[in-house]
Amino acid sequence: MSEPGGVTPAQLRELAARAAELVDAIEAARAGLAGDSHTRHTGYRLADAAGWARQVGADLAATAEDLARLRSRGPVTCPAEWGCCPDHGGTLRSSGGRCWCVAPGCGRTWDYDRDGQPCTEPAAYEVRGVGDAPDVWGLLCAGHTITARAQVDGIEVRPLAAAAGGAR
């Protein structure tokens, strides 16, 4: 379980909590300055400062969630560098930190940039004929197998024979 840099989601959440404390402290200072007619105008930067600190906290929290999702991947995970719909493959669109499948009738949505992050689906098929090494069998999840079949002529696909113990 050693990870690059050893950074954990908990560490990032801790940093986000410190940013939230900073926001509170800045807001308290701002309120203190505003309560005195001699100092009222000196605090004009603090609204922006609190806003920056809020953004810092939001970015840290979002990073913690992205990292937690990656860490939760199972032992036999699809190696694709981008996410897909588990049922439809490369049919995702994303905007403003949300993602959805555009396949008719699907209706799946995700509250993160799924198509911009590595796939988190379990490997379900072995596929040959794609990528840089077309003679080698590689692993793909169900969704990415759909996309590979649609986009690449002549690929071979076989079910992954219970390599993951059937675990999902």
Instruction: Please give the sequence-ordered ranges of beta strands (E in DSSP) within 18-111, or none if there are none.
Output: 92-95, 98-101, 109-110
Determine the size of the site formed for Zn ion (CB under 5 A).
Answer: 13
Site for Zn ion in 23-62 (CB under 5 A): none
64 binds Zn ion (CB under 5 A): no
Burial of 162 (0-12, 13-18, 19+ CB in 10 A): exposed
Q: Which two tokens stand for residue 153?
A: 């002529």
Taking CB under 5 A as the criterion, the residue among 56, 70, 103, 155 binding Zn ion is 103
Nearer to Zn ion (CB atom), residue 16 or residue 127: 127
Cα 41 from Cα 80, distance rounded (Å): 54
Q: Pick from 80, 124, 146, 148 the residue near Zn ion by CB under 5 A.
A: 80
Contact positions vs Zn ion (CB under 5 A): 78, 80, 85, 87-88, 101, 103, 106, 108, 119, 121, 141, 144
